[in-house]
Amino acid sequence: MNSNEKHKGLFIMFTIGLFNLMMSSADGTLRWITLGIFITIGQIIDWVVYYPKHRKYLAKLHEQQLLEAKIKEEYIIINNIPIDADVVKCIDGGEFQDISNKGIYIWTDRRFLYLISNDYNNANNRKHCIPIQNIKYYTISGDIYNKVDVNSNISGGGSSFKGAIIGGALAGSTGAIIGSRKPVNVNVKTTNTRIDERETILVIDNKYRVDRIILRAFAYKILTKLIPEKDKEYILVSNKTLK
């Protein structure tokens, strides 16, 4: 039940009363009084029938929201997720396929980078702990550009009999042809859309293999805050400085 349905009785009775107002042959004052009676009946129906239903709906909705909040709180406590943990979208979890195409919490302590799905309704989610020393680097790759869509609407044109008569009277047959044309209106609408196809790539060296986790572009800012020393550009600059 949505918020509008609590006025359902009023709407029904108002519609009936309005129809009665238009179709009735009684004098004007009586018809308006009748409409008022229908509206009053509609309000009574709402108070007796639909308001209680709406209150039950709101109570059930509130109960559901409280339950979801409790489940989320327990999920965060059980997995020791910090309150300020960021959420990013994982495109490909690499070795950790259970987080692919999901939103994930991401945070660090002094030794580990942690990743876990933010789907708190799934109690089987695994928390992945990646030793920071095993992270080779992270970088951002791909294109960001603006897409411009141009839509034009052309109206008018065609021939006008009145215009042809006036044009012919002023300038002969040539004037009749020109005068018969109606003005052409061109309406051009331009839509500018920002397209971000960049991906953040996190490269991990697990002794036996090199693995990659691919995240949305926004994750680059998060990783720069969490582990700035693992930024590929920072590493390259540092190596050049050391040489």
**pLDDT tens, position by position, 111-129:** 999 999 999 888 789 999 9
How large a percentage of the chain has pLDDT more than 90?
A: 40
Q: What is the mean pLDDT of residues 54-68?
A: 81
pLDDT of residue 175: 53
Asked if the model's pLDDT at residue 86 lies above 50, the reply is: yes
Alpha-carbon distance of 231 to 237, in angstroms, equals: 10
**What are the contacts of 38-44 at 24+ separation with CB within 8 A?**
38/13, 38/14, 39/10, 39/13, 39/14, 41/9, 41/13, 42/9, 42/10, 42/11, 42/12, 42/13, 42/14, 42/17, 43/9, 43/10, 44/9
**Per-chain mean pLDDT for the chain:** 78
- For residue 125, the tally of other CB atoms under 10 A from its CB is 19
Asked if the model's pLDDT at residue 58 lies above 50, the reply is: yes
Q: Which of 159, 198, 189 is nearest to 177 (CA)?
A: 159
| 171-216 pLDDT, tens digit each | 555 555 455 555 667 677 888 888 889 999 999 997 778 899 999 9
Identity at 232, one-letter amino acid code: K
Q: What is the SS3 assignment for 122? A: coil
Would you state the structure tokens that stand for residue 227, as one six-digit string? 């582990």
Q: What is the mean pLDDT of residues 138-163?
A: 74
Q: How confident is the model at residue 21 (pLDDT cuts 50, 70, 90)?
A: very low
Q: What is the mean pLDDT of residues 141-164?
A: 70
Q: How confident is the model at residue 166 (pLDDT cuts 50, 70, 90)?
A: very low
Question: Which residues, in sequence order, are CB contacts of 228 under 8 Å at separation 6+?
Answer: 234
Q: What is the mean pLDDT of residues 83-109?
A: 94
The CATH number corresponding to 80-142+198-242 among 1.10.1330, 1.10.1060, 2.30.29, 2.60.40 equals: 2.30.29
- Give CA separation, 171 vs 68, 163, 175, 176, 177, in Å: 80, 12, 4, 7, 10
Rounded to two decimals, the pTM is 0.61
pLDDT of residue 167: 47
CB–CB of 89/99 below 8 Å? no
Question: Which residues, in sequence order, are CB contacts of 113 under 8 Å at separation 6+?
Answer: 106, 107, 129, 130, 132, 135, 226, 227
Identity at 209, one-letter amino acid code: R
